[in-house]
Amino acid sequence: MTEARPQAGQDGPAPPRHIGIIMDGNGRWATARGLPRALGHKAGAEAARRTIEAAAVAGVGWLTLFAFSSENWQRPVEEVRDLTGLMRVYLRAEVGTLVKEGIRLRVLGERERFGPDTVRAIAAAEQATAPGTRMNLNIALSYGGRGEIVAAAREAARRVAAGTLDPAKLDEALFAGMLFTAGMPDPDLIIRTSGEQRISNFLLWQSAYSEFVFQDVLWPDYGATHLAAAIGEFTRRDRRFGLRIA
């Protein structure tokens, strides 16, 4: 990664503080080229590397990449095996670069479903990158927005049953603190690639006031130019948050 570190807003509008990306199109990219889907996922990992670098250079503080949904477990066994293997390789290979660049990694989702080897790789990567302050990188693995909300509701119910939470005191802020993203800012901008225009169970609670940009590019072809275009679209919008009538 480059060492250039421009200050957000120095030469124009500030970038979004937090960007979430639904990385879609690996399979279609591979199919269009007559390649195995596994090579599409490998190319997608390279696109993730480029996009992380571009976000850091742009001054984005938080980046959340939707890498593996809870629904992805329903894919063919061979594809799931290829995906999880690629994730383990990526975690181990990229840790040194993330540490050098000051990027802190966190994994959101039900990591235990991946097995002990992957869980250990995740924990090691999170620990090694914890001192990073340049950018926060979230990777959503075995993640689903509905499941996240249900898990938070179960935690709230557990606290009520234990007598440590008065139901009358449960508000949005307290509930948000029980989500995977506790302590993180909500995404200002959510991007989806491949031309699809849906959010596919991604950050449902957190995206209540997010801006959405849908880009007609398959994820393996994504890079700095596409991210800059999405950020440019974001900065041109007037975000009212329901506070005034146009």
pLDDT in tens, 70-107: 887 887 888 788 777 778 888 888 999 999 999 999 99
Residue 136 within any structural domain of the chain: yes
Residue range 200-229, pLDDT digits in tens: 999 999 999 999 999 999 999 999 999 999
Whether the predicted pLDDT of 115 surpasses 90: no
Residue 210 to residues 58, 64, 78, 186, 213, Cα–Cα distance (Å): 19, 13, 35, 8, 10
CA dist 222 → 17, 19, 81, 193, 213 (Å): 20, 15, 24, 8, 14
Report whether 41 belongs to an annotated binding site: yes
Classify residue 60: in a domain, yes or no.
yes
pTM of the model as a whole? 0.90
Query: CATH number for the domain including 60?
Result: 3.40.1180.10
Q: Which of 1-15, 44-58, 70-84, 88-102 has the highest mean pLDDT?
A: 44-58
236 is in an annotated binding site: no
33 belongs to a structural domain? yes
Determine whether the annotation assigns residue 200 to a binding site.
Answer: yes
How far apart CA 188 and CA 115 sit, in angstroms, is: 33
Which domain range does residue 58 map to? 18-145+189-235
Which entry of 11, 72, 136, 166 is annotated as an active-site residue?
72
Looking at residue 244, its pLDDT comes to 53
What are phi and psi for residue 73, nearest 5 degrees? -65, -20
Is residue 29 pLDDT above 90, yes or no?
yes
pLDDT at residue number 162: 98
Is residue 222 within 8 A of residue 55, CB to CB? The reply is no
Share of the chain above pLDDT 70, in %: 93
26 is in an annotated binding site: yes
Looking at mean pLDDT, say which of 108-117, 154-163, 234-243 comes out highest.
154-163
pLDDT at site 68: 86
Please tell me the total count of domains within the chain: 1
Answer yes or no: is 13 within a domain: no
pLDDT score of 243 more than 70 = no
Q: Provide the residue type at 34 as one letter.
A: G
Respond yes or no: is residue 72 known to be catalytic. yes
Q: What is the pLDDT of residues 140-180, one digit of tens each?
A: 999 999 999 999 999 999 999 999 999 999 999 999 999 99
Residues 6+ apart with CB under 8 A from 79: 37, 38
| Mean of all residue pLDDT scores within the chain | 91
In a domain, residue 216? The reply is: yes
More confident of the two residues 122 and 13: 122
Question: Which pLDDT score, from 0 to 100, does residue 101 have?
Answer: 97
From the list 11, 24, 216, 238, the catalytic residue is 24
What is the pLDDT confidence band of residue 4, given thresholds at 50, 70 and 90? very low
Residue 245, pLDDT score: 52
On whether residue 170 sits in a domain, the answer given is: no
Identify whether 100 is part of a domain. yes
pLDDT at 136 over 60: yes
- Residue 68 lies inside a defined structural domain of this protein: yes
Active site residue 82: no
| 104 appears as a binding residue in the annotation | no
